[in-house]
Structure 1
């Protein structure tokens, strides 16, 4: 990626926390940038250097952040918008494209790229085996941007379809009751003891993995630093010395 020429916007994922999981492509984009835009904790992961300006901002200002990035790129800056995990999974890629669609028509002609990263659900799955080894879905449990009724509908339909599931933003301080409502819906819809996996601070030195039968799960087991995975009815646990391995078989009996 050249450091010369007109401005551009590149939206990147910096992985779940371990710097070793940042892709070389993303590292190259960051090295070539003049400006970094993102949520405060993610921008803090970017090393300061001469010629680089950091623009940290608070959460819930994604569209304002996106517009700022696009305005700087239109002025000739080389702008990297950082997300944790993958930028296309409940993150900044969609926010930037939304700003493009509804903003200055000149922004549509900018060089805009999205570089993938390792999202938290994949790091969590790998940390305990392969619970997402067959069909799965990802659901954001935050009701900040969609009604709770829609979340509950998706939970029940995913359980009916027997997907393994990954849950982002399970339990916030402002809405701690959300995960309890999700648990109630899942326990009623699934009706069995498939494993639920709590991966906290996944890929970081203080990572913890807990595997709990669905009927034994309680709401305080999750927080906003936890990715929660739920197996399907086919998911298996391999007991062994040390941590068990969890996987969902690749085939389903006809």
Structure 2
């Protein structure tokens, strides 16, 4: 049977690449990805046929991966982080659904054996870098309104604030979109103090990684770019300082038993 691996390769550090993901890449003849993701993988991609489609060509990548697999080539569709979180896995299944509905003309896609392999997300890498930020209930929200109406995003931010979730913001800003993060900050400030700790992680686990701990009141879109993950603590999250060491953790309530 034709095989398509849908692979999350983690945030960038090869030591965080899951063995199962590495095995899937090694078992594939063809790799479909945004070129940066293949560059980060280095030698593990050597000897494979690379299909590098630029940012903005996500639908084309998913179609190509399905076509290659259906033609009999063991194929890996690759995204950084977890490919099931704001990434390519969903597109594969959207295309399959369209085929099942008769809106595509690729019956061969339905014969492809698809295996989704998770990876460590930027949210997890960022939380670990500062301690245990996701120690209690949390959520993720993408601030990109390219595919989701802002009204829907705003509703979710308000709900996260009311529910006192730790919130990790994906796609916080872009070159053409710089106002949503500050709006999200202002919404959360209605539900938690300005002193709430915030982790700003740029290029997490990569060579040029930069991590800062600030407060919610200090958060500003001008200090963030499209390569940055922003995680905001809840009303119980703690910022600990011990000399040059800093951590953020979100307690679960064990203090009542200590």
Is the 1:180–1:219 contact (alpha carbons within 8 Å) kept by the matching residues of 2? yes
1:158-177 CA-to-partner distances (Å, cap 9, x unmatched) read 01000001111111012122
C-alpha distance in structure 2 between counterparts of 1:252 and 1:59, whole Å = 44
Match of 2:248 among 243, 246, 249: 246
Deviation at 1:45, TM superposition (A): 2.9
Determine the structure 2 residue equivalent to 1:26: 21
C-alpha distance in structure 2 between counterparts of 1:140 and 1:86, whole Å = 14
Is the 2:2–2:111 contact (alpha carbons within 8 Å) kept by the matching residues of 1? no
Deviation at 1:191, TM superposition (A): 4.5
Give SS of 1:85's match.
Answer: coil
Determine the structure 2 residue equivalent to 1:225: 227
Is the 1:43–1:55 contact (alpha carbons within 8 Å) kept by the matching residues of 2? no
Aligned length: 248
Is the 1:193–1:215 contact (alpha carbons within 8 Å) kept by the matching residues of 2? yes
Is the 2:164–2:191 contact (alpha carbons within 8 Å) kept by the matching residues of 1? no
- Unaligned regions of 5+ residues in structure 1, if any? 1-5
Determine the structure 1 residue equivalent to 2:12: 17
- 1:1-254 to structure 2, matched below 5 A, reads 6-46=1-41, 47=43, 48-50=45-47, 52-103=48-99, 104-251=106-253
**CA gap 1:117/1:83 in 2 versus in 1, 3 angstroms:** same
Kindly report the root-mean-square deviation, in angstroms, between the aligned alpha carbons of the 2 structures: 1.7
1:1-43 CA-to-partner distances (Å, cap 9, x unmatched) read xxxxx42111111111111110111111111111100122113
Q: Tell me the TM-score normalised to structure 1 length.
A: 0.92
C-alpha distance in structure 2 between counterparts of 1:122 and 1:136, whole Å = 11
Deviation at 1:68, TM superposition (A): 1.0
Give SS of 1:26's match.
Answer: helix
Determine the structure 2 residue equivalent to 1:3: none
Is the 1:15–1:119 contact (alpha carbons within 8 Å) kept by the matching residues of 2? yes
Give SS of 1:68's match.
Answer: helix
1:27-67 CA-to-partner distances (Å, cap 9, x unmatched) read 111111111001221133344533x2100111222222111
Is the 1:160–1:190 contact (alpha carbons within 8 Å) kept by the matching residues of 2? no
C-alpha distance in structure 2 between counterparts of 1:7 and 1:110, whole Å = 5
- Unaligned regions of 5+ residues in structure 2, if any? 100-105
**CA gap 1:161/1:252 in 2 versus in 1, 3 angstroms:** farther
